[in-house]
Amino acid sequence: MTLLDVARGAYVRLPLSTRAYVGRVLKHVPTSMKFGGTYRHWREQIAKSREDVAFVESYRRTQLSEVVDRALKNAPYYARTIGPLIGERRGGALMDPDVWSRLPALSRQTVLDHRLEMCTVPPETLDRASTDGSSGQPLSFLLDRNRSPIEYAFIHDAWSRAGFTAGDWRCVFRGFDLIDGEHRHLEREPALRELRVSVFHLNDETMASYLQEIRDGKIAFIHGYPSAIAIFAEYLIRKGLAPLSQIRGMFPISEKFYPHQRELIARAFDQARIVPFYGLSEKVAFAVERDGEPDTYEFNPLYGYTELVDDDGRPVTTPGTVGRIVSTGLLYKGMPLIRYDTRDVAELVEVPHVANGFKLVVRRMTPRRNSEYVVGKSGTLIPFAGLCVPIDDRDMTREIQFIQTTPGEIDLMIVTENGEQPDLSNYLQRMALRAAGDLSIHLKIVDQLPMSGRGKRKFIDQRLQVPHD
């Protein structure tokens, strides 16, 4: 088993101080051993898919049939719900729109209610995972344990457009739990070659230390939340420190990447190739921005069977038409999600066909998580993505909302199952440590969350005047 096989498992669950020690040992392990044969296999498969359209066509048909077969055979939910709709159709017949569109789109609520019945293997052999709940409703589910080297193969293939290799260091702007030490706002993760910097401390003093670490480490690649990177970029420009030309690759993740952020980042990092990708915690779809076409994305056909559908669940086939992104993951079969409704929307550019290598191409995707900020006690803007979202151990959390009326103070409103009190003490303690006294979160259990006139619930009710980055 490689390091990446356990990167989201045993290794990251170690106590922070222990992980720091192990990381110092693992940094001496050759890159080929860290990433292993599974990683190399998928890098080869991805490269092959760009050259061999017949391979892609056969792969999609075979894998989709295998996902459905396993689900019908081993998952009671699918046997009960889609078995009667599919009948004996398999292989290429499943891709007939008249057949496939009969299957209902899988909602988050359905996954919440029936996830154990969706497993094709014993649930205890899978890892528990969760979304960030950016719509106000967090989602927990189960994933195969061998996913890390496969995920890195797809991500590194995308980043290779900027010259990135598996052995390169990156500066990472995300909401990390950092190792105890004199400087809690940053740490080096030698095993995964990451300089991790806190998005909770984006003031001039700490950003100056980030810059020094990037320079001293000769780091050439940055990835993380675009809202946080944009704040760093603005700092560099404002202080006359831009352009930072040593950065060759910029990899925004997890949030919608707005044009004004792209422009700001391009000014601050003039030699950086910007490579955004679209991914989901549920692991059903993966797309990379098309070269030379900002905000236009190509979905990888090896990763998922991805569709754009209208409000009736029918395929969108007319370019320029907007639809919902629905996808069936092809890689992880322990708890398959068949026709999972991501609730993200996009405009169709090209349907999958032979000439484009069976890639669905869309533009102007609107993901679930938008670029939002909260305000710390010091006035520092904190990208909301770094706060993550609490999922209690007993899955009682049903809906959530964050409200801010005072700098440094957040009310976390939670609707729970039967109004019970969830144990979120670990979450609240972790957030307090991350923010190092600059933000306090107050838990409040409520019966329901307020709705707008259109029936929508705000995920972040920010009542302070927050400047745009």
pLDDT of residue 383 exceeding 90, the answer is: no
Q: Which residue has the higher pLDDT, 2 or 143?
A: 143
Beta strands (DSSP E) in 159-303 are: 170-174, 186-189, 194-198, 221-224, 249-252, 273-274, 277-279, 286-289, 296-299
Q: Which of 29, 387, 19 is nearest to 181 (CA)?
A: 19
pLDDT in tens, 12-61: 555 555 655 555 655 556 666 777 899 999 999 999 999 999 999 999 99
CB of 34 closer than 8 Å to CB of 2? yes
Per-residue burial over 191-229, b = 16 or more CB atoms within 10 Å of its CB, e = otherwise: bbbbbbbbbbbbbeebbeebbebbeeeebbbbbbbbbbb
pLDDT value for 392: 67
Peptide bond into 390 cis (omega under 30): no
Q: Which helix (H) or strand (E) holds 345?
A: strand 340-350
Using 50, 70 and 90 to split pLDDT, how confident is the model at 82?
A: very high
The alpha carbon dihedral of 44, 47, 53, 57 has a sign of positive
User: Whole-angstrom Cα distance, residue 366 to residue 19?
Assistant: 36
Beta-carbon-side half-sphere exposure of residue 324 (alpha carbons within 13 Å): 17
pLDDT value for 27: 59
Token reading at 332: 């992880």
pLDDT of residue 6 exceeding 60, the answer is: no
Token reading at 272: 């950086």
pLDDT value for 216: 97
pLDDT value for 19: 58
DSSP 9: T
Question: Would you tell me how many other CB atoms lie within 10 Å of the CB of residue 70?
Answer: 16
pLDDT in tens, 210-264: 999 999 999 999 999 998 999 999 999 999 999 999 999 999 998 888 888 999 9
Using 50, 70 and 90 to split pLDDT, how confident is the model at 469?
A: very low
CB of 374 closer than 8 Å to CB of 439? yes
CB of 250 closer than 8 Å to CB of 243? no
pLDDT in tens, 398-421: 778 889 999 999 999 988 877 788
DSSP 290: P
pLDDT value for 106: 96
Show the domains of the chain with their CATH numbers: 3-50+148-275 (3.40.50), 52-143+279-366 (3.40.50.12780), 373-462 (3.30.300.30)
pLDDT value for 420: 80
Phi, psi of 403 (to 5 degrees): -125, 130
Using 50, 70 and 90 to split pLDDT, how confident is the model at 354?
A: very high
Q: How confident is the model over 125-145, as a mean pLDDT?
A: 80
User: Whole-angstrom Cα distance, residue 234 to residue 241?
Assistant: 10
DSSP assignment string, 154-195: HHHHHHGGGT--TT--EEEEE---PPSSS-TTEEEETTTTEE
What pTM did the predictor assign? 0.84
Question: Would you tell me how many other CB atoms lie within 10 Å of the CB of residue 410?
Answer: 24
Percent of the chain with pLDDT over 90: 57
pLDDT value for 18: 60
Percent of the chain with pLDDT over 70: 84
pLDDT of residue 126 exceeding 50, the answer is: yes
Mean predicted lDDT score pLDDT of the chain: 86
pLDDT of residue 71 exceeding 90, the answer is: yes
Contacts of 58 (CB under 8 A, 6+ apart): none
Using 50, 70 and 90 to split pLDDT, how confident is the model at 370?
A: low
pLDDT value for 114: 95
Question: Would you tell me how many other CB atoms lie within 10 Å of the CB of residue 159?
Answer: 24
Q: How confident is the model over 87-96, as a mean pLDDT?
A: 72
Token reading at 336: 């398959």
The alpha carbon dihedral of 279, 284, 289, 295 has a sign of negative
Token reading at 95: 């891709």
pLDDT of residue 209 exceeding 60, the answer is: yes
Contacts of 5 (CB under 8 A, 6+ apart): 36, 38, 145, 146, 148, 149
Using 50, 70 and 90 to split pLDDT, how confident is the model at 318?
A: very high
Q: How confident is the model over 60-73, as a mean pLDDT?
A: 94
pLDDT of residue 339 exceeding 60, the answer is: yes
